[in-house]
Structures are given as structure tokens and as C-alpha cells.
Amino acid sequence: MSKKVAVFRKESFNAAHRLFNPAWDDEKNTEVFGKCALPNYHGHNYDLIVKVVGKPDKKTGYVMDMKILSDLVKQEIVERFDHKNLNMDTLEFKELNPTAENIAIVIYDLLRPHIDEKLEMQVRLYETPRNFVEYPAEM
């Protein structure tokens, strides 16, 4: 019997982006990305939920100290991306299209090295209340 428990921490950040593929002309970018390709950028209020799964520690009863998880997400993600233009102001998206999918992968890769190997982790990112992604897709 495994008795694994999932714990979640929610944080949020605001950021601007523009979706486009530099290999395509404006017409093709508009066809694929619609308004998201408009050249002057637009913003989103991103909600980020980090899920950590493991067995509660025998001494603390915690899967992971939520204060540590919260501080980690603030330091690694919120400080890095909040109030930034993702395309222009961040190294991560200089050459990577800042779709919700790619942002979730980048966030996962930034956090994963800081979380105990024996814990599983998943990122859920809301770009709008109705559009959200999860990475990895399965855990």
C-alpha cells in the first residue's frame, strides 16, 4: 500500500507575450495564432499550480513543506516572469514560442532540480480560466 499524497501550491504572475513563428510571414502567423500574433503583444494573468506527490515523511507528516515549495516557486518562477514581456525580457523565450505549453515545460524544468528526486512533480498552468495545460501530461 503506497499512501502517496498529492500536495498543491498555487501562485500567479502577470506577463505579456506574442505567439509567432519567425520562419513564417505575418499572414501565416495570423492564420495560425490569430490575435495572439498581434505585433504589440498582449497580457495574461497566469495561474500556476505546482503538484508534488509522495509519501508523507514519517517525522513531519509532510510530503513537502509548503513554505519551502511556495518560496521556491516565488524565487524561481514569479520573480523571473512576473510583469515581464516573455518574448523580449526573458532568456527562456528568446527563441521559444511562449505558448502555455512551452511555458509549462520551462517552469517544470526550472523547478524540478530543486525538488527531492523521490517526489513526483507536475505543473498546471492557466493562461485563462478556461485554457490550461499540464506538464508532464501523465505522472
Report the interface residues with Ni ion, using CB under 5 A.
36
Is 127 catalytic? The answer is yes
Q: Which of 93, 73, 77, 123 is nearest to 16 (CA)?
A: 93
36: annotated active-site residue: yes
Cβ closest to Ni ion, residue 36 vs residue 123: 36
Q: Which residues pair with 1 in a beta bridge?
A: none
Q: Give the active site residue among 31, 36, 42, 117.
A: 36
Tell me the closest approach of the beta carbon of residue 42 to Ni ion, in angstroms. 6
- Catalytic-labelled residue, pool 31, 42, 79, 83: 83
Q: Is 42 a catalytic residue?
A: no
Q: How far is the CB of 48 from Ni ion (least distance, A)?
A: 15
- Cβ atoms of 102 and 123 within 8 Å: the answer is no
Closest CA to 17 of 40, 50, 49, 34: 40
CA angle centred on 113, ends 121 and 48, rounded to 5°: 45
Q: Whole-number minimum distance, CB 115 to Ni ion, in Å? A: 28
Could you list the active site residues? 36, 83, 127
